[in-house]
Amino acid sequence: MDPTASLSRPSLPHLVKQGEDDKEVRELLESWRYTGAPTPWEAIVGHTKQVMRCREVVERMRRPAADLDRLGLRLARGMVISGPPGSGKTLLARALATAAGRDVIVPPTAELTAELISRM
């Protein structure tokens, strides 16, 4: 028996293969994309520790890849922000995206399923 066989993962039937297009997911992401005004860090009140951490993430994103390698830092592909309704998750995501010069996608949690999350 191959000792690495237990380490391999089975192929999941609902996953989109790299290079393939998933029109449904693309359309959903586009409908969830925030298109409002930029959000500055100053708009967030009462979440000093979380804002500081997000600002650190933005600073890492601005560093050249060679610096990141040298320092042993790696960047994530996304961020999940969780908390109770009305706690400022979306505002924090918009400020983070503004600072990073990136888009923010805010999916309604009621529409998320395990299959959809894996396809994204």
Alpha-carbon span 59 to 14, nearest angstrom: 36
For position 39, what pLDDT does the model report?
A: 94
For position 19, what pLDDT does the model report?
A: 60
Alpha-carbon span 82 to 14, nearest angstrom: 26
Query: What range defines the domain where residue 68 resides?
Result: 44-109
The predicted-structure confidence for 35-84, as pLDDT tens digits, reads as follows 889 999 999 998 899 899 889 888 888 888 888 888 887 776 667 788 88
Domain assignment present for 15: no
Domain assignment present for 80: yes
Domain assignment present for 25: no
Give pTM, 2 decimals. 0.63
Domain assignment present for 32: no
The fraction of the chain above a pLDDT of 90, given in percent, is 16
Q: Is 95 in contact with 43 (CB distance < 8 Å)?
A: yes
Domain assignment present for 82: yes
> Scanning the structure block, which residue is given the tokens 């299959």?
115
Domain assignment present for 101: yes
How many structural domains compose the chain? 1
Partners of 105 in beta bridges: 33
Nearby residues of 36 by Cβ (< 8 Å), 6 or more positions away: 94
Domain assignment present for 1: no
Domain assignment present for 94: yes
Burial of 2 (0-12, 13-18, 19+ CB in 10 A): exposed
